[in-house]
Amino acid sequence: MRRPLRYAALILIVAVVLYPLVWMVGTSFKSPEEIVNNIGLVPQHVTPGNFAEGWHKFDVGFGRFFLNSAMVSLLTVAGNVMSCLLAAYALGRLRFRLRGMWFAVMIGTLLLPGHVLIIPQYILFRNLGWVGGDWPYLPLLVPHFLATEAFFVFLMVQFMRGIPRELDEAAIIDGASPYRVFRHVILPLSRPALVTTAIFSFIWTWNDFFRQLVYLSDLKDYTVPVALTLFIDSTSESAVGPMFAMSLLSLVPVFLFFVAFQRLLVEGINTSGLKG
Amino acid sequence: MHTPARTEPPAPRGPAAGRRGSGRARRRENLPGYLFLGPWLLGLMAITAIPMLLSLYLSFTDYDVLTPLSEARWVGWDNYERMFTADPSYWHAVRVTVTFALVAVPLKLAAALGVALLLNRAFRGVGLFRGLFYLPSLLGGSVALAIVWVSMFNRDGAFNSLLALFGVQGAPWVNDPTWALETLMLLAIWQFGAPMVIFLAGLKQVPAELYEAAAVDGAGTWRQFAHITLPMLSPVIFFNLVLETIHGFQGFTSAFVLSNGTGGPVDSTLMYTLNLYINGFVRLEMGYASAMAWVFLLAIGLITAVLFRTGRFWVHYSDSEGQ
């Protein structure tokens, strides 16, 4: 295709793709009257009122929901990075009995849809007293400290297999144990895989809805995605502005990650087939 | 299984060092191997395997989650029978889900491939375009995005305002049973950025010499696309197809947001997983929902297997042929 035509096509597609997002930003700064009357993308009078109203809309306030989401997401990142790294080192670099079988099992769990496991896991956690317990985030967090997110294990195994064998063999000849090899050779060299895991782990958890919907039942424990659904119940016209304002705010952390790590993200997707 | 490892010290004077060279491939690291694998193994047992078995057992019971597990009442194949013969909403949800996947997945992949072809050339701003197209995928299944989408396709949402500019009278899309699912399909297609990035990576692997040779032989753009690009890209197409199909069958968030968790209007967005959620967590029929989950698991496995089967006829792996 000729260059001007290509640009024209791309700009048209960009306009279509960005329209809903631009519309969301525009609407969240409009006054209630303008939301009804002005269909344009740009508000005539920019007002922060929706943000103030949305922030305090539900009894505990969105600040609390953001803190809850941040805590769940950051702890999930920590759990995933640590536990998946350990499993990946074993499966990708060490030789031990039945390794091939465990690797196959890991690949198998990769294909298990989360919606299938949610019911038995819910029953299990409920019987442990974790659902609605003193700290309702246990069912959301504990699985991530036990490397159950097989995709990240797989990603790191693939990455570690690319690290030259000669490095650990040299270290072993120099008398290093597998633990030292892990600490001083593999860990430092695995940083790109760890960063990719951390970024995607954060974004996925921040955006996750299903599990948070199932496990969080008390308003003060809600995370941002669950809190956003409260707006759907109150369908009155005046709630549209605050709903958009809070929706927009909820995308900000993900967007910042995206801007900061864009190059790295695209590389990570290219090499691993990770989804957003 | 740990004993042999203990007798094999990892110290330099141990047997490992003595066999350096040809024997090193046989060096075993059983104890460290299982230590590092420990958390994963514990997770596999406690979070995956045992719950799976529990779920299989529960699928043959009548269980409401509020009572102790020991009070789950054995009902044999009743749940499965009810699902297949006595619950019209079950088959309805299957139809909704299959329709959704059959329409949205091919269109999403076509959009992804089309845009990838447009971007597969070095020019100013290519990185920016790629980033912008990827943005909706990144924001992905978030509730915020679904909320915006649903509002846009409301009776007096932005989409109808846009149509009004052209004098077209729009439908109340998300509240109209004939259009609600299409609105969700459009949302899924709009997020074509993730498969697009994978297509772009695949297109970079196609050797430029092939196109040069074809051009010398007088093949036009379309013939080059059909006879070089598509076959060379078929493994990547296959990869995206499998991933997006599995992903499509699991659609939940947007259907939940659109219908406020009900699958409405008139069950038109009752996706399989939403139906499962309603049965398990709203009606508290955990036994029945477990049976649904197992059928879902088998169906996903079957579909994946069928895709792999048919893939043999059209997926072309260049490195496994003629060498």
Q: Which of the four pLDDT bands, split at 50, 70 and 90, describes residue A32?
A: confident
Pair B229, B206: CB distance under 8 Å: yes
Q: Which pLDDT does position A111 carry in this prediction?
A: 82
Helix then strand then coil, in percent of chain B rounded to 5, is: 70, 0, 25
For residue A201, pLDDT over 90 is answered with yes
**CA-based nearest residue to A75, from A241, A201, A184, A182:** A201
pLDDT at B17 > cutoff 50: no
pLDDT interval class at A235 (50, 70, 90): low
- Per the CB < 8 Å rule, is A17 touching B190? yes
Mutate to test the interface with B, among A1, A119, A153 (most CBs of B within 10 A): A119
3-state secondary structure chain A: CCHHHHHHHHHHHHHHHHHHHHHHHHHHCCCHHHHHHCCCCCCCCCCCHHHHHHHCCCCCCHHHHHHHHHHHHHHHHHHHHHHHHHHHHHHHHCCCCCHHHHHHHHHHHHCCCHHHHHHHHHHHHHHCCCCCCCCCCHHHHHHHHCCCCHHHHHHHHHHHHCCCHHHHHHHHHCCCCHHHHHHHHHHHHCHHHHHHHHHHHHHHHHHCCHHHHHHCCCHHHCCHHHHHHHHHHCCCHHHHHHHHHHHHHHHHHHHHHHHHHHHHHHHHHHHHCCCC
Question: Where do the DSSP E strands lie in B185-284?
Answer: none
Report the pLDDT averaged over residues A172-184: 91
Q: What is the mean pLDDT of chain B?
A: 87
Q: Give residue B14's pLDDT.
A: 39
Q: Does A265 sit within 8 Å of B138, measured CB to CB? A: yes
B10-14: average pLDDT: 41
Q: List the single range of B24-38, B130-144, B199-213, B257-271 with lowest mean pLDDT.
A: B24-38
pLDDT bin (cut points 50, 70, 90) of residue B319 is low
Chain A to chain B, count of Cβ pairs less than 8 Å apart?
Answer: 293
Three-state SS at B8: coil
- Give CA–CA dist A94/A89, Å, rounded: 7
Residue B22 has pLDDT above 60, yes or no: no
State yes or no: pLDDT of B1 exceeds 50. no
pLDDT above 70 as % of chain A: 93
Residue A265: pLDDT band (50, 70, 90) is: low
pLDDT at A263 over 80: no
> Which region among A121-125, A232-236, B116-120, B211-215 has the lowest average model confidence (pLDDT)?
A232-236
Displacement of CA B214 from its chain's centroid (Å): 36
Window 11-30 of B: residues touching A by CB (8 A cutoff) are 11-12, 16-17, 20, 24-25, 27-30
Task: List, in order, residues 6 or more apart from A264 with CB less than 8 Å away.
Answer: A192, A195, A196, A199
Q: Do B289 and A213 touch (CB under 8 A)?
A: no
Contact A266 B130 (CB under 8 A): yes
pLDDT at A105 over 60: yes
B322 or A258, which is more confident: A258
B281 and A CB contact within 8 Å: yes
Determine the pLDDT at residue B321: 45
pLDDT of residue B6: 37
Confidence of residue A269 (pLDDT cuts 50, 70, 90): low
More confident residue, B80 or B19: B80
For residue A77, the distance in angstroms to the closest alpha carbon of chain B comes to: 16
pLDDT reported for residue B3: 36
**CA–CA dist B180, B64 (Å, integer):** 32
Mean pLDDT over residues B250-260, rounded? 93
Beta bridge partner(s), residue B61? B74
pLDDT for B323 beyond 60: no
Most confident of A74-88, B5-19, B205-219: A74-88
Angle (CA) B75 B76 B80, round 5°: 100
- Residue range A17-26: average pLDDT? 93
Average pLDDT over chain A, rounded to an integer = 89
Pairwise pLDDT comparison (A6 vs A265), residue with the higher score: A6
- pLDDT reported for residue B10: 42
* Span B189-204, pLDDT tens digits: 999 999 999 999 999 8
Which band of pLDDT confidence, cut at 50, 70 and 90, is reported for residue A226? Answer: very high
Q: Which of B16, B40, B115 comes nearest A83 by C-beta?
A: B40
- Structure confidence at residue B279 (pLDDT): 96
Which among A116, A203, A228 has CB closest to B143? A228
Mean pLDDT of B36-43: 96
- Residue B37 and residue A233: Cβ atoms within 8 Å? no
pLDDT in the model for residue A272: 59
User: Tell me, what amino acid is at A80?
Assistant: N
| pLDDT of amino acid B191 | 95
Residues B37, A247: C-beta atoms closer than 8 Å: no
CB < 8 Å to B243, chain A:
273, 275
